[in-house]
C-alpha cells in the first residue's frame, strides 16, 4: 500500500508528510505529488517518492496512483478552477482503484451556505459518484489565515471587517488539520466518513482584538463595517468582482454562524486539544 499526497509541496501537504513519517510510514511508502522536481527536492532527499503532475493537466495523473493506494486530495488553491482540477485527480484515482480518497473540504459540508463552499460541495459529490471509498475532512478556518493581518491591525489599532460582534470562528492550525489527515490515512475506521474539523473553542473578533492588546500592550479593537463597504474595498484593491463577492460573503456567513460550531471531532482524531488562537498569535508575534 502506498500513501499519496497531492499538493504535497504546499504548507499543509508538507505537514501531512512529516506526520506520516513520524507515525512510522516508510518514506518510500509515501508519494508526494508536485508540479516540479525542484519544488519537491527536500522531500526526495528524505526518501519520499516524487510524482510530477499538475491539477490543470489530467494526463499527468495517469500513472500516479495504483490499486490499493490511500490518497489525500488537498483542494486546489484557485477558486473558480477547482472542480475540473479535482475531477482530474478523482478520475485517475478511480481508474487505478485506490483504496481510499480523502479530501480537504469546507466545514459543515453541504450545510455550509458560503459561496466559497460551492466547489467543495461539487467535489464531494464527484467523489461520491465515483464509488471510491472516501473520507471527507471538512476543515474550519485556519488560524494562520486569521492572523495574517495582525501586523496591520496592531499598527492601525483596529481589526476592520464586516463580521458582526456575534460572529464566531472555531479555528485550528495547519498542524492540527495535518495531524488529522495523517490519522485517517494510517488507521482504520474512516472509510465513507465525513468529519467536521475545527478548534475546541470558537472566538469572536472582539476577543481576538483583546488578545492582541494583552500580548502587545497596544490597544486594538474590532471595528465592523457594512458589507457594502467591505465589497467596495475589495473591488478597489483590484479583486475581480465575482471573487470579491465570495470573499465578502465569508464575513456574512461567519456572522450567521457558519464557522462557529465546536463538535470536538478534530481533538478526538488527533488525541489532544486543538491549538488555541492565542498560541498562534504568540507564534506570529515572536
Q: What pLDDT score was predicted for residue 215? A: 98
Average pLDDT along the chain: 97
**DSSP-derived secondary structure for 134-177:** EEEEEE--BHHHHTTTHHHHHHHTEEEES--TT--B--B-HHHH
- In sign, the C-alpha dihedral spanning 200, 204, 209, 211 is negative
**What would the pLDDT profile of 221-237 be if each residue is shown by its tens digit?**
999 999 999 999 999 99
d(CA 186, CA 274): 20
Question: What is the topology classification, in CATH, of domain 3-142+174-198+262-275?
Answer: Rossmann fold (3.40.50)
Q: What pLDDT score was predicted for residue 80? A: 86
| Whole-structure pTM value | 0.96
Burial class (CB in 10 A: 0-12, 13-18, 19+), 218: exposed
Domain range summary for the chain, segments of one domain joined by +: 3-142+174-198+262-275
For the segment 110-129, the average pLDDT, to the nearest whole number, is: 97
Among 218, 198, 253, 186, smallest CA distance to 16 is for: 186
| The pLDDT of residue 77 is above 90 | no
**What would the pLDDT profile of 141-170 be if each residue is shown by its tens digit?**
999 999 999 999 999 999 999 999 999 999
* Residue count of the chain: 286
Amino acid at each position: 500500500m502506498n500513501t499519496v499526497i497531492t499538493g504535497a509541496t504546499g504548507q499543509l501537504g508538507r505537514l501531512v508528510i512529516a506526520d506520516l513519517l513520524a507515525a512510522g510510514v516508510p518514506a518510500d511508502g509515501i508519494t508526494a505529488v508536485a508540479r516540479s522536481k525542484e519544488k519537491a527536492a527536500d522531500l526526495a532527499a528524505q526518501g519520499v517518492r516524487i510524482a510530477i503532475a499538475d491539477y490543470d493537466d489530467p494526463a499527468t495523473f495517469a500513472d500516479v496512483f495504483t490499486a490499493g493506494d490511500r490518497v489525500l486530495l488537498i483542494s486546489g488553491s484557485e477558486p473558480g478552477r477547482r472542480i475540473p482540477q479535482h475531477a482530474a485527480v478523482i478520475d485517475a484515482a478511480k481508474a487505478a482503484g485506490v483504496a481510499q480518497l480523502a479530501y480537504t473540504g469546507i466545514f459543515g459540508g453541504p450545510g455550509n451556505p458560503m459561496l466559497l463552499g460551492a466547489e467543495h460541495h461539487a467535489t464531494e459529490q464527484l467523489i461520491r459518484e465515483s464509488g471510491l471509498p472516501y473520507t471527507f475532512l471538512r476543515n474550519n478556518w485556519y488560524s494562520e489565515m486569521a492572523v495574517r493581518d495582525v501586523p496591520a491591525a496592531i499598527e492601525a489599532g483596529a481589526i476592520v471587517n464586516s463580521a458582526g460582534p456575534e460572529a464566531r470562528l472555531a479555528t485550528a492550525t495547519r498542524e492540527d488539520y495535518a495531524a488529522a489527515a495523517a490519522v485517517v490515512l494510517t488507521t482504520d475506521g474512516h472509510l465513507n466518513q465525513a468529519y467536521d474539523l475545527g478548534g475546541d473553542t470558537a472566538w469572536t473578533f472582539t476577543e481576538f482584538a483583546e488578545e492582541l492588546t494583552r500580548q502587545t500592550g497596544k490597544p486594538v479593537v474590532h471595528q465592523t463595517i457594512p458589507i457594502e463597504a467591505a465589497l467596495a474595498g475589495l473591488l478597489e484593491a483590484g479583486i475581480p468582482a465575482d471573487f470579491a463577492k465570495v470573499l465578502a460573503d465569508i464575513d456574512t456567513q461567519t456572522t450567521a454562524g457558519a464557522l462557529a460550531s465546536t463538535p470536538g471531532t478534530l481533538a478526538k482524531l488527533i488525541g489532544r486539544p486543538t491549538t488555541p488562537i492565542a498560541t498562534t498569535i504568540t507564534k506570529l508575534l515572536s
